């Protein structure tokens, strides 16, 4: 049986992980490779690296880092953040990433999704959708959640599938950082309207939240950052819990 | 020396990394002599079947691969290209395995992406592997069950997760992306 995926997300700036990380068994918690290796050992099913580096000059650091990650870890990983062109994708895939995620650039020019999909296969293209519930509607946001669009989230999800996306990473901005659980309604609405895997993101605070998102939606995976980074929920404990709750996990 | 066949397919880097992590020397090559003289050959692949087959034909790697006598391991699209025919791009493939490659039915979640366990394990590739072990899959087309099936997997339907005939081995899953358990399968192949 296909297992539900548990996916830690690491924010990368200038080649290092950011956000406070307090693992005692890692010498340098800012070292993305060390942290990634720890997650692999603990049973993470995939990793997502989100580059929040502002400048283009520092992007070279990213491709070097991707190369290092690829040589050290043996589970699939996605790299996202500021990917604007097929050229950006090429650099990251050649360095060894399995998938890239696009967000704002896909909204601005959806043809990019098709280009990546044709060149590298649809399994390579994750479309990250940031969404917020405003005026009784789930709307797509871009520019790191700073800018509202007029696009309805479910409509956009259906479109990205047509353009050739292989997966959707759906983040609810209403839930992100609250630790009150995933946005079950919009996650389910997107799952019901596409035939590609959907990863739920934003709001994980307890192990029950993971159970809930897998029981109440068709999400293929769940992504979280801080609860893993701060060691609040160790991955092996989460996986054991989900197994006892009859959620299929590795 | 392990040769990894280079053609217009992605994901070669991670196969190379995995082989190196196991302590083997390897080269990524499309040179016929280097491939013929290698101890073992890995035929990786992520991409689209018809363009991959065209590339193999243009470089005459298609005939070379079929003629190899050493252990050969096809991975993912590599496995599919070793079958007779693929629905993807209506492609005649290498015909090493007696089976065809079909698209998963519509209205289901495709690609089959993520970790899944195997069944009916057969042969040296799966020494030390049990039915409960999970491997990483990502594919929209599958090889049908046939007499060469060395492992099965269930997603929507039952398909060949692995095939074997004589010196030819293949996996639909990515051993190089399947953490410690994938390493066992790769090691089993490399120590054949």
**B76 labelled catalytic:** yes
Helix (H) or strand (E) holding A108: helix A104-108
State the CATH number of the domain containing residue B129.
Answer: 3.40.50.880
Distances from the Cα of B70 to the Cα of B13, B21, B120, B167, angstroms: 22, 22, 25, 6
B-chain residues within 8 Å CB-CB of A95? 13
Whether B174 is catalytic is yes
pLDDT band at B11 (very low <50, low <70, confident <90, very high): low
Q: Do A5 and B179 touch (CB under 8 A)?
A: no
In this predicted structure, the answer to whether residue B69 has a pLDDT above a threshold of 60 is yes
Domain residues for the domain of B55 are 2-190
CB A183 within 8 A of CB A202: yes
* More confident site: B171 or B50: B171
Question: Least CA distance to B48: which residue of chain A?
Answer: A121
Say what the pLDDT of residue A21 is.
47
Nearest chain A residue to B10 by CA: give it.
A120
Query: Quick one: pLDDT at residue A63?
Result: 87
Mean pLDDT of chain A: 91
- Classified as helix, coil or strand, B116 is strand
Q: Mean per-residue pLDDT for A45-57?
A: 81
Tell me which fold the domain A5-244 belongs to: TIM Barrel (3.20.20)
The CA–CA distances, whole Å, from B107 to A15, A39, A157, B7 equal 41, 34, 16, 33
Could you report how far apart the first and last alpha carbons of chain A are, in Å? 10
Helix orientation angle between A86-95 and A111-120, rounded to the nearest 10 degrees:
40
On the question of pLDDT at A70 being above 90, the answer is yes
pLDDT tens per residue across span B104-140: 998 889 999 999 999 999 999 999 999 999 999 999 9
Residue in B48, B112, B176 closest to A2 by CB: B112
Q: What pLDDT does A54 receive? A: 58
Cβ atoms of A151 and A97 within 8 Å: the answer is no
Is B124's Cβ below 8 Å from some Cβ in A? no
Q: Where are the domains of chain A?
A: 5-244
Q: Which of B26, B88, B112, B176 is catalytic?
A: B176
Closest CA to A116 of A144, A95, A88, A97: A88
Q: Which tens digit of pLDDT belongs to each residue from A183-215?
A: 999 999 999 999 999 999 999 999 999 999 999
Domain count across chain B: 1
Q: In this predicted complex, what is the ipTM? A: 0.92
Could you tell me which of A123, A98, A132, A125 has the C-alpha nearest to residue A110? Answer: A125
pLDDT at residue A119 greater than cutoff 90: no
> In B, which residues are within 8 Å of A71 by CB distance?
17, 20-21
The answer, yes or no, to whether residue A45 has pLDDT greater than 50, is yes
How confident is the model over B74-94, as a mean pLDDT?
96
- In the predicted structure, residue A87 carries a pLDDT above the cut 70: yes
């Amino acid at each position: 049986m296909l297992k539900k995926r548990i996916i830690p997300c690491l924010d990368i700036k200038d080649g290092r992980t950011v956000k406070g990380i307090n693992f005692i068994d890692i010498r340098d918690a800012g070292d993305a490779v060390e942290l990634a290796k720890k997650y692999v050992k603990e049973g993470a099913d995939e990793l997502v690296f989100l580059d929040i580096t502002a400048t283009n000059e520092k992007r070279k650091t990213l491709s070097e880092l991707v190369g290092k990650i690829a040589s050290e870890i043996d589970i699939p990983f996605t790299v996202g953040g500021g990917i604007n062109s097929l050229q950006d994708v090429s650099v990251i895939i050649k360095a060894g990433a399995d998938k890239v995620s696009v967000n704002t650039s896909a909204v601005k020019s959806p043809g990019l999704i098709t280009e990546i999909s044709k060149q590298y296969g649809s399994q390579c293209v994750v479309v990250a959708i940031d969404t917020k519930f405003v005026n009784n509607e789930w709307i797509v946001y871009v520019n790191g959640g700073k800018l509202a669009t007029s696009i309805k989230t479910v409509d956009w999800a259906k479109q990205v599938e047509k353009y050739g996306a292989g997966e959707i990473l759906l983040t609810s901005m209403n839930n992100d950082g609250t630790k009150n659980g995933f946005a079950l309604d919009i996650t389910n609405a997107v799952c019901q309207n596409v035939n590609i895997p959907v990863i739920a993101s934003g709001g994980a605070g307890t192990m029950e939240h993971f159970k809930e998102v897998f029981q109440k939606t068709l999400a293929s995976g769940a992504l979280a950052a801080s609860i893993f980074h701060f060691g609040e929920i160790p991955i092996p404990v989460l996986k054991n819990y989900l197994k006892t709750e009859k959620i299929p996990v590795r | 020396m392990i040769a990894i066949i280079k053609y217009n397919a992605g994901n070669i880097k991670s196969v190379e990394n995995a082989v190196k992590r196991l302590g083997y020397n390897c080269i990524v090559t499309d040179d016929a002599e280097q491939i013929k003289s290698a101890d073992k050959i890995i035929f990786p692949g992520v991409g689209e079947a018809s363009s991959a087959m065209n590339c193999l034909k243009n470089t005459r790697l298609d005939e070379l691969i079929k003629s190899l006598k050493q252990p050969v391991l096809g991975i993912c699209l590599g496995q599919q290209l070793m079958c007779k025919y693929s629905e993807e791009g209506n492609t005649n493939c290498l015909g090493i395995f007696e089976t065809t490659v079909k698209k998963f039915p519509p209205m289901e979640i495709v690609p089959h992406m993520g970790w899944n366990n195997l069944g009916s394990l057969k042969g040296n590739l799966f020494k030390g592997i049990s039915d409960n072990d999970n491997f990483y899959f990502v594919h929209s087309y599958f090889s049908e069950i046939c007499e060469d099936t060395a492992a099965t997997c269930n997603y929507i339907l039952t398909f060949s997760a692995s095939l074997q005939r004589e010196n030819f081995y293949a996996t639909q899953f990515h051993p190089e992306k399947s953490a410690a358990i994938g390493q066992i399968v790769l090691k089993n192949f490399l120590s054949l």
